[in-house]
Structure formats: structure tokens, C-alpha cells
Structure 1
Amino acid sequence: MREERETENKKELVVWHEFDGPGDTSIEVLEEICRLYSERYGVHIISEVMSIQELGDRLVDIEHTGKGPHMAFVPADMVVFKDRALLSEAPVELFASELGENMRLSMTMEGTAYGVPILTGNHLVLYYNKDIYAQPPASWEEIEQLSESLKQRGIKPIGGDMSQSYWFMPFFTAFGGWPLKDGKADLVNESMRDALQFVKSRIEQGVLANLDGPTALLEQFIAGELGAIICGEWIFNYLDRNLGQKLGVAKLPDIGGKPSVPFHSSIGLIYPNDSLESEDRESILSFTQFMLSEECQMKWAELVQRIPSNGNVQRNLLAQGSPNKQAILSLLDHSRTMPIHPNMIAIWASIGAGLDVLQKGQAESAYDAIVQREEMIINAVK
């Protein structure tokens, strides 16, 4: 049973997505593309927005309910839900002229593609206020040296959402950590212990402000109450609209001479509930092709300043984009591809459990919370 509606004899296809935050202007482009496709091809595309948590919950429920959308627009790692969401295999070879080989592989798990990438990037960068930092701080040591003078002016040196596993990962990598080793979780080690201690101590010292990512973090940065923030490339357009020439973009600050390496990934279309095996296959693939057209890909780049997956459009942006946009593109080279593996579901949850404890307790207690979940991680199944 598929979510489909018929009005005035026009076929309707449903797309689930999670562009739901107040700063996530991407919804503007998605809705515009859906409107254009409907006008030109006579197929009404219904976009249904929800939180990332609800999106994941609804996808994994499909195996029990048999109800799902024709498509979902999701971060690449959600292809790990392939069995529970009943994902169709994605025929990425049909889009070879738009997508390079590495891009076509970016939503692949265990040798099979389950999604078609539409956007890429999705990486954390340092945003800084040029009125506060004349030059971007290259290291945490530099931030700490400047912190007292900034705090005397009522300015918090740097902020991030340290309740989120994705925000924590660059600290873990700076201490030599990586979440997977030989396909198994690798969180219980000195790298994790040191990263938790580093984050906790900087929060306690007032160097690092721990704020809600979609709300307070952005609000205080725009108000000039934060000198810099760690946040994703996906929020650039919102910050650019609000800060203009004050906004700078740079690499995440090093820790003890070691780089803080964030993840990067794709965001693309997946096909739940075996939708590509249905009578709607051609309409679904036609919409996918439209999303990858240079016309639509340029809309993402020009209207909301996201990074398109189409190789030709990417090259044009590198040649012609603003300095900040070129910086965001170049910072992809300072990130690593986010692992797509069944065990990552439990890994994210386990880091999150540790960060929950870190908000209220000590770093060692947070580490213990992760250790306690190690057995669950190891035994995580698809």
C-alpha cells in the first residue's frame, strides 16, 4: 500500500524530507522544484516535512506498516535502513553523465547503491564573525588565548551543539579516533576518553558554549554574542543572509597541532517500500533526473547556496562562486566520507548516550556510559 492521492486526474507522488529547522532554507528550493515538475510533467510531487528523528522512525516502520512514500530525501547514512524501509536498489548508472563515480558510490552499502545523491557536502566548518575575529582562529590554543578578552566584552569565544554526535566527531578525530575498525565499533579507547575530557573542560572554562544547534547557536552568533561557531555547510545561506560581509568561513581549529576532521556525505533520494518495482517507476526516475538537471542543481547553488552533486555545476561554482562559497567547497578536502555501515546506527546512539551524560556529569561518567553500550554496538544488526 503506497501513499498516493489522485486529484483532478493528476498523479501524485510523495517525498518525505527533514528540511525543518528555522535556518534550513533548503525547503524553499525543494518546494520550487516540486512545483516546476508538476507544472511541466503533470505529476504532482507532494513534499512532506518532518524532523530527522521522525523521518527515521517512519522509514523503519515501513516493514511493519507497508505504508511509505514514493521517495525520501535523506542523508546518505539512512540507506542503512534498507531492509526495514524496504528500499529499492537505485539505478545510479542511469545518471553517469551528471554524477562522477565517487558521487555515484556515495549512497552505497555493501556494494549496492540504495540512493541517488542530489546534494553533497553536509560537513561541519568554522563560521566566524569578522568584526570579532580579524582572522579565523586556526587552533583551540589561539581561541583560549583570546577567550578572556572576549568574555570581558560579553562575547563567548566559540559555540557548538555538543549534544549531537555529529558535532562531537571532529573532536574525536583530532585525538586520533575513528568510529569503525574492521567493520566494528571502535569507541572505547583513549581517543574517546581524551575527546570527552577536552570538550567538558572547554565548556566548564567558558571557552566553548554548548547551545542548541538549530536555535540558540544561530541566534547568538547572528546577534554578535558568539565570536565563532562550529556548524554545517547546510546553514551557510541562512547565516549569509543575516550577517553578510561580517561572515567568514574557515577550517575547524586544530587541537594540539592535530586537525579536527569532520565527516562529509551526500543527501539524496531513496525509494522506500519497493517503489521502483511499482507502476510509478518511470515517474519516480523522471523526477530524479529532473532533480539532477543543471537547471535544478543551480537552484540549490544560487538560491540557498548548497553544494550540488552534478559535477559540471560544482566546477562552475568553484570558478565563479563567492570567496565564502569557494571556501566551503574547498573544505570538503579537509573532511572524510561518513561511513555507511549497519553498525553506525548503534555508534551514533552510543556517542549520544555519552554526550547526554556529559551535559550533566563528568567526562569519565560520559565515557562509562559509552562503555556500557559497547556490547550493544558490537551486536548491532542491520
Structure 2
Amino acid sequence: MFFSVASKAEQNLTLWYSHQDNSFINLLVDEFKKENNINISLVQFDPEKIKAEILLGAQYGGLPDLVIFPSDFVGLHRLMKLSRIPEDWFLSDISPSAKSTAFADRKYWGIPVIQGNNLLLYYNKKLVSKPARSWESLLASKQQYIDKNILPIGWNYQDMYYFIPFLSAFNGWPITDNQISLNTPEMVAALKYYRDLAKQKVVDEQCHYTCSQADFVQGKEAYAINGDWAYQDLKNTMGENLGVALLPTINGSQMRSMKSTFVLSLPNYSSRPKQEKKLIEKFAKFVQRPSIQTLVYEKTRLLPVSEHLLGEYKKQAKGNDKVLFEQFELSKPMPSSIKMAIAWQAIAIGFKRYEDGLSAEESAEYMQHIATQQMRRLKNE
């Protein structure tokens, strides 16, 4: 009888996620478990791989009950078999700008849990006394680091998310007037600048995300460009040696990272059993609670989606916390449409062609060609 009762009492859900900060996800799940007799199985994916895993799961079966991923993924809601979020699931205090990130094709496909997801300039206070405000200043100091066998700066060079702030500094943006806009003079100028940094050995173009973060923590890089998602990990490891600054300007122009939310989305919700649906709805409302949003911010410094809480924490912010808010304000929202998903693919393919020998002009043209072809294919499906 004991085993029969136990099996009925404890229910199971599976949650996939891609956020680097494990403590953020564990916090949500552990707090929810305190109120509910439930087992939530967590599966963490590399940020570069979770999109493909969900698309494969949608095509061949094996989707989880819940996913937490960047809001631009909702543009792929049809391919990912995401279910629409009912309007009455949203709490009233949620920031309208945060809520809008989960909106595509006139419906909501996710519930924002945290916001930010933007890039910052980190620096090692043991190596940098005063952070550079411009790339001109940073480049002028590069030799002092190179002479000591220290890389001036590191980031995940091959990931085009990190390229976007450079594009923005040349007044370019991948989506303009709701159209994919890649074959532009701004794109050409940004590509040349970005590639030249690697040629100058300012950044290691072969160093991926894990490599770059490890090198920065170990003092092999003076600066690092990384996301707000890495802040708590870096702080825990480096302590008072961690410095945070705004992304440096280029020729006086501000670099603007993309920002978004991490949303809770529901693959195949409509096909779930009734009891499971109740639990999923409960969890969706639970993660929006002010008390939970407060707990997450105070433990991880990930920004809440509550408009009231965001305003209060912004007023109180000092030191590194103040920089987190300032960079968030300077960042531009990432479009949550299928066009952005197509633009990412086109930029990545075009940049690889640029590295392989195409000119910047030819690469920008090729990016646009890839995007146009993909849009046509989508319309014909």
C-alpha cells in the first residue's frame, strides 16, 4: 500500500534549459518542490545546442514538459510545437516590454522568467586598474598584455551573438523595418573591424565560450565580453578581482548588445494529461510571483520581469549592480520572430565564407541571399 500511495502522490515533469547559471534554475525548481509533491527532472543543454535538440524532439518525438530558453526561440514556435500561453496565465505586474518578447504571430508562446541576456565588458582588476571606455583605448594598451603572454580580451568569437554589438556600433542591425537587412555598408564595415581584431591577435578567434571564460578566470585574459548570465559564476570564482564595465565605444559610437528574456515555454501542452496540465500551469504562475522574482535577483543578480521590482532594484543599484542596469538600458531588444532565426543562420554562414576568403562585400551579399532563399522556402511550405 505504501508504494501505491507514494507513486500516486509524487508526479513527474521534465524541464530542459540552456541558461549557464544552474543556481537560477535549481532555485525555481527547489522552491516549487517545497509546495508541491513533485519530481522535476532537469536537463541542461549547451546554449548552442538546445535549439537543435528541441527541433529534433519536435520532429521525432521526445519533447519535455517544460523548456526555459531565450525568447527569440518563440519565432520557431510552429517547428518546436510550442503551445500558446493563455492571457490569464500572466500576472499583472509583468513588464510590458518583457511580455512582448514572448509574442509572435499574434499570440504568446512563453512566459518571461528573467530579463537581460545581454553582453557586458568584464575585466580582471589584477590586470586592469581602470577599464577602457573605447576600443581605441583598449587597443592602445594591448602590447602591455601581449608582452606578458596575456590576451588583451576574449569572447566566443565564432558566435554571431557577440558580433551584433560591433554591427550596432556601425549603425547596423539585422532586422530593419521588419525586414532582414544584411547586405549593407554597415555590415561590411563591421565585418572588417571584427575580423581585424582577430588578425591583430587581440582576441583568439579559435577560443570558444568555455575556453574564453576559463582563460579569463585564470588570468590569461585582461578583459572578457560575456553575458549577464555569467556574472554570478565569475563573481563566485574571482570575488573582488572581478570588474564590470559598459561595452567600449567604437569611434565614439556606442556598442549595443541585444537583450531578451528567458521564457518558460510549453511543448505539446495540449496533449498532456489533465493532472499534468494543472501542474504546468501552477509552475508557470509560480515563477512570476514577486517573492520568487525577488529571491532570484538577490541570489543571482538576474533581472526580474516584474516592472515594480525592476524599478526598485534599479534605484538601489551600486557598483557592479549599477553597471548591470546601465548596460541593460543601453541594449536593444532582440526580435522574437522567425526572421531573426533566419538572420542568425545567414550571418553565421556568411561570416564563415568571409573567413574562408570571400570579401566583406561578397559575404554581406551572400548573407542576404541565404536569408532571402530561406524566407521564400518558408512561404512555400
TM-score, normalised to structure 2, is 0.89
1:370 aligns with 2:345: no
Residue 125 of structure 1 deviates from its aligned partner by: 1.0
- Look up the match of 2:18: 18
- Look up the match of 2:287: 291
Distance of aligned partners of 1:361 and 1:298 in 2 relative to their CA distance in 1, 3 Å threshold: farther
Equivalent residue for 1:335, pick from 321, 326, 331: 331
What one-letter code is carried by the residue in structure 2 that aligns with 1:271?
Answer: L
1:103 aligns with 2:102: no
Distance across 2 between alignment mates of 1:183 and 1:380: 18
Distance across 2 between alignment mates of 1:358 and 1:294: 47
Residue 166 of structure 1 deviates from its aligned partner by: 0.4
1:51 aligns with 2:50: no
* Unaligned 5+ runs, structure 2: none
**Is the contact made by 1:172 and 1:192 (CA closer than 8 Å) also made in structure 2?**
yes
Distance across 1 between alignment mates of 2:36 and 2:371: 51
Equivalent residue for 2:306, pick from 280, 305, 310: 310
- Which residues of 2 match residues 1-382 of structure 1 at below 5 A? 8-9=7-8, 10-19=10-19, 24=20, 26-65=21-60, 67-210=62-205, 212-275=207-270, 279=274, 280-361=276-357, 364=360, 366-367=363-364, 369-379=366-376, 381=378
**Is the contact made by 1:160 and 1:211 (CA closer than 8 Å) also made in structure 2?**
no
TM-score, normalised to structure 1, is 0.89
The one-character-per-residue Cα deviations of 1:70-109 (angstroms, maximum 9, x if unpaired) are: 2111110111121122222113443333412222222111
Distance across 1 between alignment mates of 2:125 and 2:66: 41
**Is the contact made by 1:62 and 1:84 (CA closer than 8 Å) also made in structure 2?**
no
Distance of aligned partners of 1:44 and 1:312 in 2 relative to their CA distance in 1, 3 Å threshold: farther
**Is the contact made by 1:188 and 1:374 (CA closer than 8 Å) also made in structure 2?**
no
Distance across 1 between alignment mates of 2:355 and 2:108: 38
- Look up the match of 1:3: none
**Is the contact made by 1:276 and 1:284 (CA closer than 8 Å) also made in structure 2?**
no
Distance of aligned partners of 1:40 and 1:378 in 2 relative to their CA distance in 1, 3 Å threshold: closer
Distance across 1 between alignment mates of 2:140 and 2:22: 40
Distance across 2 between alignment mates of 1:196 and 1:130: 30
What secondary structure sits across from 2:167 in the alignment? helix
Distance of aligned partners of 1:372 and 1:89 in 2 relative to their CA distance in 1, 3 Å threshold: closer
What secondary structure sits across from 2:209 in the alignment? coil
The count of corresponding residues between Structure 1 and Structure 2 is 372
The one-character-per-residue Cα deviations of 1:170-222 (angstroms, maximum 9, x if unpaired) are: 11111121111333211011111111110111211122333534322112212
Q: Quick check: 314-323 or 297-306, which moved more? A: 314-323
Residue 336 of structure 1 deviates from its aligned partner by: 0.5
Residue 334 of structure 1 deviates from its aligned partner by: 0.6
Residue 348 of structure 1 deviates from its aligned partner by: 0.5
Distance across 1 between alignment mates of 2:47 and 2:217: 24
Residue 51 of structure 1 deviates from its aligned partner by: 2.7
* Unaligned 5+ runs, structure 1: 1-5
Distance of aligned partners of 1:46 and 1:277 in 2 relative to their CA distance in 1, 3 Å threshold: closer
Distance across 2 between alignment mates of 1:369 and 1:228: 32
